[in-house]
Amino acid sequence: MKQVQILMYHRVGNFPGRVKAHGALYCHLPRFRAQMKMFKVLGYGVISLDEAAAGLCGDAPLPPRPLVLTFDDAYVDFLENAAPVLKAHGYPATVYAVSSLVGKTSAWVAPEGLEPAPLMNVSQLREVQDLGFTIGSHTVTHPRLADADDARIHAEMRDSKRALEDILGQRVEHFCYPYGSHDLRAVEAAAAAGYVTGTTCVRAAATPADDLLTLPRKAVSRGDDVFGVAWKLLTKNLPKHAQIRRT
């Protein structure tokens, strides 16, 4: 069966050694550079989410080892640190933005004892788009959707899409569930809002059997060197948790 590997990154940069908790939020820039080189060495074809969706549906061919790169939250350090490395390799990527916090900070991390970090503003998001990267939605306020009521779920999906489309001047067709939190209501709301894909935090490879609105991903953490990322790509391909699918 065809498989598409989807990796999840958050921040890319140089971080103090004392930051140990919440490792999936950080990827050291030197390790990021090495990982991007490794993908070519191992023969991975880095493709866009649009190409992955078409391939999983059988509408277009996939390269031998298809790989998608995603970046949650739209931190400023994506533009400063990750984008130049990606451009140097010719890699596409999708960046998920929280629409009400564009140009602000990741305030949702403060209750967890972390320092909020700067998020890209309107001009920076447009610059990222002009560089050839895809901007997706990460809701309006970054809530745990499975804990929200129906009205809020629909508003978070619908309003973030509209706001980002107004900013970018083009359709926003990809969605990411904050914290990976989703249930059938959230998946159906994503479909109603008109998203083509939705990415989760379920650790597995994506296959044609997956609903495009509940695609699994593998998180890259601060402790992952090239061998660790390679191991994640070559193994851990069965879902760690059951997926939620529409009927």
Q: Which domains, and CATH codes, for the chain?
A: 5-234 (3.20.20.370)
- pLDDT at residue 153, rounded to an integer: 98
The tens digit of pLDDT for each residue in 122-139 reads 999 999 999 999 999 999
Phi, psi of 172 (to 5 degrees): -110, 110
Looking up tokens 């978070």, which residue turns up? 156
Residues 6+ away with beta carbon under 8 Å from 86? 36, 69, 92, 93, 133
- pLDDT at residue 38, rounded to an integer: 96
Q: What is the mean pLDDT of each run of 10 residues along the chain (247 residues)?
A: 93 76 84 96 97 96 96 98 98 98 96 92 98 98 98 98 98 98 97 98 94 96 89 79 64
- pLDDT at residue 21, rounded to an integer: 63
The tens digit of pLDDT for each residue in 178-224 reads 999 999 999 999 999 999 999 999 999 999 999 999 999 999 988 88
- pLDDT at residue 240, rounded to an integer: 60
Q: How far is residue 11's CA from residue 213's CA, in Å, rounded to a whole number?
A: 24
The closest of 12, 42, 78 to 222, measured between CA atoms, is 12
- pLDDT at residue 44, rounded to an integer: 97
pTM over 0.75: yes
- pLDDT at residue 24, rounded to an integer: 81
Is residue 157 within 8 Å of 192, Cβ to Cβ? yes
Q: How far is residue 155's CA from residue 100's CA, in Å, rounded to a whole number?
A: 12
Q: How far apart are the first and last CA of the chain?
A: 21
- pLDDT at residue 47, rounded to an integer: 98
Q: Tokens at residue 159, please?
A: 């309003």
